[in-house]
Structure 1
Amino acid sequence: MADRKISNPLALAVLGLLFERPMHPYDMVTTLRHREKHDSINIKYGSLYTVVRALEREKFIVGTETVRAGRYPERTLYAITDAGKQEFHDWLAELLGTPHQEFPRFLAGLSMMPGLPPDEAADLLEKRADRLAEQVAGLRATITDKPADMWDVFLVENEYRIAVFTAEIDWIRELVRRIRTDELSGIAELREMHRRLRE
């Protein structure tokens, strides 16, 4: 992974929006929300201004003009620079093409699962699978109910999440089956260990 001067995913989103056209921060937030990016990128209006200032400081974007619409306060219109275009390209290429070791909380939980009685762990895993199934239904709705003017390409991360969550649900349900039937080696021993600990 390259060492980036700015690594906040919101900065990547700002560069991506300005790659399309010049915008002011309010328009950026509106566009990101319209495209359902709030589930992929942590969008906070205050943070956006901090990110915009940082991008401007690094000369990835530049304020081009200040505009006023009606009774609204003045807004600075920003455009991406050539350096910003290169940074956006390189950053995006790295994210899409280079796997990176991440440490999801769920993996940490799985690695320590023997600390719970097997039946309790199975119950919790079933709850997780049910919650993921609800999220999948919601994500499918964002795709089927998307505004007519929104291109499918702006929702591919939701398609990815559906695929990942669906695979995780299937894997969890199979793991629960193996726990409940003692097919997973060590489960019978863990049951006995937890029974002794309760005595």
Structure 2
Amino acid sequence: MAKRRAVGNPLALAVLSGLLLEPMHPYEMGRRLKETGKDRNIKYNRGSLYMVVEQLRKAGFIAEQETVRDTARPERTVYALTDSGRAELYDWMRELVAEPEHEYPRFGVALSLLGVLEPGEAVELLGTRLVALDREAAEITADTARAKEQGLPWVFLVEEDYRLALLEAERRFVTTLIDGLKAPEYLRAWQEALGEGTPWSAPEQ
């Protein structure tokens, strides 16, 4: 079972990881997230980044090291990783890497209730999903190819390889599901249980 973290936002983990390399101010943290492509999987904005930094400071995981004053910019506070922050980083990473966790995806909810849809409509909707999956996979493939050409080390792209593997697995699953929904035995069973004239009939669009 996952531990309850003092700061549980995934963005906090990225901040701790960045500060492992060197002390930084929040602006630099955000720039590094984009440079290394971590913003593809960890969504944030300037406000959420500063909020997480403050939460980490209050938790004792990071500490103010110095304030940098520049006449061209507002003063910036540089933060450093504390010993407890380093311990939290490694404990959290080990948990995430080693322990699977059910994440309750929205598609899983839809699948659990798929039987309420008329089979033909379900097949059409899943076909639309296949098109979207193919488009997303193509975008990821193109983005990672460009990143590799620019010399970005593979370890910074491994999460994109994971996303691509998930998309490919989902595509195979959806294709098989469509075949199952078209099977005569399923159509007969659906018609008997939820066909036209039953209380569960879907309204026409």
TM-score where L is the length of structure 2: 0.90
State the match for 2:31 in structure 1.
30
Q: Distance in 2 between matches of 1:19 and 1:191?
A: 60
- Answer yes or no: is the 8 Å Cα contact 2:25–2:76 preserved in 1: yes
Task: Determine if the alignment matches structure 1 residue 105 to structure 2 residue 112.
Answer: no
CA positional deviation for 1:13: 0.6
Match of residue 159, structure 1, among 158, 161, 172: 161
Q: Distance in 1 between matches of 2:98 and 2:187?
A: 39
Match of residue 171, structure 1, among 155, 173, 191: 173
State the match for 1:114 in structure 2.
115
Q: Deviations over 1:149-195 (max 9, x none)?
A: 4221111111000001101001101111221233xx54322145333
- The code of the aligned residue for 1:165 comes to L
TM-score where L is the length of structure 1: 0.92
Q: How does 1:14-93 map to 2 (within 5 A)?
A: 14-93=15-94
- Answer yes or no: is the 8 Å Cα contact 2:180–2:186 preserved in 1: no
State the match for 1:141 in structure 2.
142
CA positional deviation for 1:30: 1.1
Any idea what SS the aligned residue of 1:23 has?
A: coil
Q: Distance in 2 between matches of 1:27 and 1:187?
A: 57
- Answer yes or no: is the 8 Å Cα contact 1:56–1:62 preserved in 2: yes
- The code of the aligned residue for 1:125 comes to L
Alignment identity in percent?
38
Count of residues in correspondence between the two structures:
197
- Answer yes or no: is the 8 Å Cα contact 2:24–2:79 preserved in 1: yes
CA positional deviation for 1:70: 4.8
Q: Distance in 2 between matches of 1:177 and 1:70?
A: 66
Q: Which runs of 5+ in 1 are unaligned?
A: none
Q: Distance in 2 between matches of 1:188 and 1:36?
A: 49
Q: Distance in 2 between matches of 1:37 and 1:138?
A: 16
- The code of the aligned residue for 2:59 comes to E
- Answer yes or no: is the 8 Å Cα contact 1:17–1:28 preserved in 2: yes
- Answer yes or no: is the 8 Å Cα contact 1:118–1:191 preserved in 2: no
State the match for 1:188 in structure 2.
188
Q: Distance in 2 between matches of 1:101 and 1:149?
A: 35
Q: Distance in 2 between matches of 1:130 and 1:191?
A: 28
Q: CA RMSD in A?
A: 1.7
